[in-house]
Structure 1
């Protein structure tokens, strides 16, 4: 059985010799968004009722002008394209880098520190298996969040080991990876 002291000593020895690589991998994972899957919502309901205010005619004409409407629509299209682009980047690149980052740290604990582990799912031919498993995990977790917040949080902990499982065996299958992750976290949430 592992003890806290043993794990801490091994982690210190790993970081002592590989701190820069571990920092760069962590920084890359931060930028591709592997630790967070949150979103925000905003209220874009703009009230145009200026009849009680002074100068209402000027502002009413500005809002109703076709050039302002065009700019509003163009800005909305740009924002939607950025959102869709960031989601696509997260799905098609970020998931693979997340699994590669987990593989880097797991192999690093075994004294196999190589930055090529980051891109292993791109190169090894396991792209579709990792993509399917991680996407399935995200969809199932999203559906649990739709029930209520608490079931979503519990399932996000239950599915937290999926990247580690895929780092060891990327072709395990999406359902089996989720089952193993739930078994591994059972009683530890």
Structure 2
């Protein structure tokens, strides 16, 4: 059984003399993601302003009352704004599926290859998901994972709706107020469901980084296999980085927000540790015969093993 300390020590080993290269790889992904988001926000703001400005000029306002136009004018205003609102929502989701998810897979590919070779991987690995044979399979698999995790969050929303209903009924009938503590316990219990689901399918982007053409069904199945009996340990590994996040939060507070940039310098350490976690769980699945190296895109059995010089391997 692995420990958090062992994975972190291996991550430091894999980053030895390659930390700045890893930071540059993450900065490339971050810069592209931020650039796309910034451009789309400009387009969305421009479309919103172009729809709103003519409406403001054509509306007659009455500052002495609460009436700012007839019902017809208000309805026409919202009808004119509706296409822009739909465009804004669509533009917030499309880049996530068609650009950010493949970029995430590429970044994970870089960190996986980084731990397997003494030399720095090429930065072309960051765009491995954008090939003709891999792109749509990666997009489809990541979209399916996104949809599946979203569906797991829906049960947790039901008690919230019931809480509002009980609060409304309690205004006239106080006898139902005793149900509130019970519903709060149900809410807390149902919050665990999406957490478990996210841990169960946490390795899907890593599996796609190894073999982008593996397909969403097999990727989900392998992720469940690799995380079977490991979810508590994986959650503990994530939680072990909490002091680092507190340090970033403290730096942000002390520097009036500028310290938030320090989170960028933590990314290589985080990703390298998660790469070690995936490699360990992948190794366990291969040793148990539940998947093969060839299925994960490897040509040599040695690629699945930890290098002999790794400490605590």
Structure 2: how far apart are the matches of 1:130 and 1:84? 20
Unaligned runs of 5+ in 2: 35-61, 157-190, 232-313
Q: Which has the larger radius of gyration?
A: 2
> What secondary structure is seen at the aligned counterpart in 2 of 1:80?
helix
- The answer for the alignment partner of 2:19 in structure 1 is 19
* Aligned: 1:59 with 2:101: no
Larger RCO: Structure 1 or Structure 2 (Cα < 8 Å, ≥ 6 residues apart)? 2
Structure 2: how far apart are the matches of 1:106 and 1:121? 14
* Aligned: 1:109 with 2:151: no
How do 1:33-44 residues align onto structure 2 when only pairs under 5 Å count? none
1:60 is displaced (CA, Å) by 1.3
State how many pairs are aligned: 167
- The answer for the alignment partner of 2:97 in structure 1 is 91
* Alignment match of 1:158 (pick from 180, 200, 206): 200
Structure 2: how far apart are the matches of 1:154 and 1:12? 28
Structure 2: how far apart are the matches of 1:188 and 1:30? 33
* TM-score for the superposition, normalised by structure 1: 0.72
Structure 2: how far apart are the matches of 1:147 and 1:30? 36
Cα distance change of structure 1 residues 123 and 13 upon mapping to structure 2, 3 Å threshold: same
Q: How big is the alpha-carbon RMSD for the aligned residues of Structure 1 and Structure 2?
A: 3.0
Deviations 1:130-150 (A, max 9, x none): 112111111111111112332
Retained in 1: the 8 A contact 2:110–2:126?
A: yes
Retained in 2: the 8 A contact 1:100–1:120?
A: yes
Deviations 1:34-90 (A, max 9, x none): xxxxxxxxxxxxxxxxxxxxx996221358583x66655555543432221120011
Deviations 1:145-171 (A, max 9, x none): 112332222111100000111111111
1:92 is displaced (CA, Å) by 0.7
* TM-score for the superposition, normalised by structure 2: 0.46
Unaligned runs of 5+ in 1: 34-54
Structure 1: how far apart are the matches of 2:22 and 2:82? 39
Retained in 2: the 8 A contact 1:32–1:90?
A: no
Structure 1: how far apart are the matches of 2:196 and 2:70? 46
- The answer for the alignment partner of 1:78 in structure 2 is 84
